[in-house]
């Protein structure tokens, strides 16, 4: 099967390895720089109202490396789209798992011991977020185990080979959208910090990106109708798309409701995959999904 040249360049193995190494390097440097800023703030050397929510606790320094790792994991999610729908959904839950972990670290940094009532409410919310993390992590592991145990099946059908190429092209376009959304989100967020609004909400970037991810999933689902009429296959992929939509809504929903939506998305995705596998109709295929 001929792989589009641009896809091979921007989403190939060599590029992936390079970006992985650079992401680790940037994460280490970013963590150290952020930690130094937190120390300087603690010593009274930095006095900027816009930056204070970002550096008023040493735990805030964890936000930077996790953000960089998340950026790389989103790239991995895009790379997984041409491989299989199930694989991409598993990567999606890995991204959301790290997103929730980052939120937990930030909420721990924001705990105020001087306000007992607020502290109780914050701890209760962190507990619910920890539960959401556990469920999301288990979901990601379940998908990884299911896809890794699947036996790839090669189909000589030219139409199916064309479908894979279409998904590769779509992944390349989504990568470009990812870069543009990242630049826009970072610019908007930086302007907010300069203007005195240092917001660390998870909606920054991820709300917009998951909107585009939902659109790409729906497009793949519609195109797949040309290549299969199997109800189980179509219903399974539709359920996966629904779980992505629930995650997108959860990202934009604050508080307990957001955590509940993440748990609901996990239950939906795992339930759909388990039912499809249990009845023996599931075929994980790197060529057909």
3-state secondary structure 131-196: HHHHHHHHHHHHHHHHHHCCCCCCCCCHHHHHHHHHHHHHHHHHHHHHHHHHHHHHHHHHHHHHCC
- Mean of the pLDDT values across residues 188-201? 74
Q: In this structure, is the dihedral angle defined by the CA atoms of residues 7, 4, 159 and 152, taken in order, positive or negative? A: negative
Whole-structure pTM value = 0.88
d(CA 91, CA 149) in angstroms, rounded, equals 16
- Mean of the pLDDT values across residues 220-225? 86
More confident residue, 284 or 140: 140
- Mean of the pLDDT values across residues 14-25? 95
- 289 falls in which pLDDT band (50, 70, 90)? very low
Q: Position of tokens 């792989």?
A: 3
Residue 286 has pLDDT above 50, yes or no: no
d(CA 73, CA 81) in angstroms, rounded, equals 13
Report the candidate in 219, 223, 216 with the shortest Cα–Cα distance to residue 160: 223
Residue 283 has pLDDT above 60, yes or no: no
Residue 275 has pLDDT above 60, yes or no: yes
Report the candidate in 288, 279, 255 with the shortest Cα–Cα distance to residue 107: 255
- 199 falls in which pLDDT band (50, 70, 90)? low
pLDDT of residue 225: 80
First vs last C-alpha separation in the chain: 15
- Mean of the pLDDT values across residues 163-172? 90
Q: Residues of the chain with pLDDT > 90: what percent?
A: 52
Query: pLDDT tens across 231-263, in order?
Result: 778 888 999 999 999 999 999 998 899 999 999
pLDDT of residue 284: 40
- Mean of the pLDDT values across residues 179-198? 83
d(CA 90, CA 80) in angstroms, rounded, equals 9
Q: Residues of the chain with pLDDT > 70: what percent?
A: 86
Report the candidate in 97, 87, 84 with the shortest Cα–Cα distance to residue 143: 87
pLDDT of residue 235: 86
pLDDT of residue 119: 67
Per-domain residue ranges for the chain? Answer: 5-278
Query: pLDDT tens across 100-147, in order?
Result: 999 999 888 887 544 555 567 888 899 999 999 999 999 999 999 987
């Amino acid at each position: 099967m001929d792989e589009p040249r641009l896809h091979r360049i921007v989403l190939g193995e060599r590029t992936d390895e390079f970006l992985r190494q650079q992401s680790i390097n940037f994460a280490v440097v970013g963590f150290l720089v952020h930690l130094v800023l937190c120390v300087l703030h603690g010593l009274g050397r930095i006095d900027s109202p816009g930056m204070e929510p970002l550096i008023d606790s040493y735990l805030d320094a964890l936000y930077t490396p996790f953000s960089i790792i998340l950026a790389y994991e989103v790239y991995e999610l895009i790379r997984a789209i041409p491989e299989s729908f199930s694989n991409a959904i598993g990567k999606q839950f890995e991204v959301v798992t790290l997103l929730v972990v980052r939120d937990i670290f930030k909420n721990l940094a924001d705990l105020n011991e001087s306000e007992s009532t607020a502290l109780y409410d914050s701890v209760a919310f962190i507990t619910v977020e920890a539960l959401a993390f556990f469920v999301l992590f288990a979901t990601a592991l379940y998908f990884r185990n299911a896809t890794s145990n699947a036996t790839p099946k090669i189909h000589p059908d030219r139409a199916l080979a064309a479908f894979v190429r279409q998904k590769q092209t779509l992944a390349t376009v989504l990568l470009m959208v990812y870069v543009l959304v990242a630049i826009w989100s970072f610019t908007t967020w930086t302007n907010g910090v300069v203007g005195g609004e240092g917001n660390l909400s998870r909606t920054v970037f991820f709300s917009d990106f998951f909107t585009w991810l939902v659109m790409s999933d729906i497009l793949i689902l519609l195109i797949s109708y040309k290549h299969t009429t199997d109800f189980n296959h179509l219903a399974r992929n539709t359920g996966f798309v629904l779980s992505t939509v629930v995650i997108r809504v959860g990202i934009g929903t604050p508080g307990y409701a957001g955590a509940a939506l993440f748990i609901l998305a996990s239950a939906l995705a795992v339930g759909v995959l388990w039912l499809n596998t249990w009845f023996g109709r599931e075929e994980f295929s790197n060529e057909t999904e």
